């Protein structure tokens, strides 16, 4: 499946403007033959927007989801996009990531080219004080959907830096792992080194899609990449705004899994101390 990675600084604080950016990029992705376009973490609103996160958060089936579905349908391309998700809190005591009785999650949603909501994932590993102050962590580590013959998994940024997290996807059969990201300086080695290794050791494709440029107190480093199961980048963006396109090839993936049988050679009985 041809996959487009939208590396953009977006328009922090403006959902309407970010939807326009997505619309234009989806058109270019479709023209390049892509079946899927993936955005960065918190693409719809911007990442470093402080208390505006709660103000702009929406449910998974909210107005923005409808707008993204319309874009996907019109261009004939599936869309995975990052956004702040609002859900009613279960208890009044859930203080972190809540606003007026609602829980706020750092989420990514996958919508098909037909406009169907296929999967929604809530970031399970929150990074730093900023995220812990504004979000509730999710509790479902593996979220997947079938798309164009591939089993697609969802994850967000810091999640991919936990080997156990990605291995869970591998054991569940994920072929293409989508990782919307807001990776800032000085952690560019994650895009350059960690992500290709995750793809290789778990025998999957990993689409790691970053923000770029300054935003609030952060400087995002770009370097979005689609890494293959051989640990080689099929596409890699630079440091600026860019749309890169590459293929996740199921035939190559199957051959690579035969050559590199990490999952078959595992000895889970030895790993009890890791839990």
Active site residues: 41, 123, 157
Q: How far apart are CA 243 and CA 263, in angstroms?
A: 33
Q: Is the peptide bond before 186 cis (omega within 30 degrees of 0)?
A: yes
CB contact at 8 A, 207 and 177: yes
Q: Is 122 within 8 Å of 106 (Cβ atoms)?
A: yes
Determine if the peptide bond prior to 228 is cis (ω within 30°).
no
State CA 224 to chain mean position distance.
Answer: 11
Q: What is the DSSP string of 96-150?
A: TTEETTEEEEEEEEEE-TTS-EEEEEE-SS--HHHHHHH-PPP----EEEEETTE
| Whole-number Å distance between alpha carbons of 114 and 74 | 9
Pairing of strands 205-209, 176-180: parallel
């Amino acid at each position: 499946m041809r996959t487009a990675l939208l590396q953009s600084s977006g328009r922090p604080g403006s959902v309407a403007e970010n939807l326009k950016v997505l619309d234009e990029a989806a058109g270019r992705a479709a023209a390049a033959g892509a079946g899927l376009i993936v955005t960065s973490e918190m693409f719809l609103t911007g990442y470093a927007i402080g208390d505006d996160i709660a103000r702009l958060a929406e449910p998974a089936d909210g107005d923005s989801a409808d707008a993204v579905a319309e874009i996907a349908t019109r261009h004939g391309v599936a869309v995975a996009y990052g956004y702040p998700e609002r859900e009613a809190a279960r208890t009044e005591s859930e203080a972190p990531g809540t606003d007026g009785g609602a829980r706020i999650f750092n989420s990514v949603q996958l919508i098909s080219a037909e406009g169907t909501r296929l999967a929604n994932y809530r970031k399970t590993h929150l990074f730093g004080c900023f995220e812990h102050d504004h979000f509730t962590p999710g509790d479902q580590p593996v979220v997947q959907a079938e798309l164009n013959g591939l089993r697609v998994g969802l994850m967000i940024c810091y999640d991919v830096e936990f080997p156990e997290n990605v291995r869970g996807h591998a054991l569940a059969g994920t072929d293409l792992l989508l990782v919307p990201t807001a990776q800032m300086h000085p952690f560019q080695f994650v895009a350059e080194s960690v992500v290709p290794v995750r793809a290789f050791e778990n025998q999957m494709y990993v689409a790691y899609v970053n923000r770029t440029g300054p935003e609030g107190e952060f400087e995002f480093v770009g370097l979005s990449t689609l890494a293959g199961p051989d640990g080689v980048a099929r596409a890699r963006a630079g440091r600026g705004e860019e749309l890169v396109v590459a293929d996740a090839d199921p035939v190559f993936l199957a051959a690579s899994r035969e050559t590199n049988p990490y999952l078959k050679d595992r000895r889970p009985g030895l790993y009890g101390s890791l839990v």
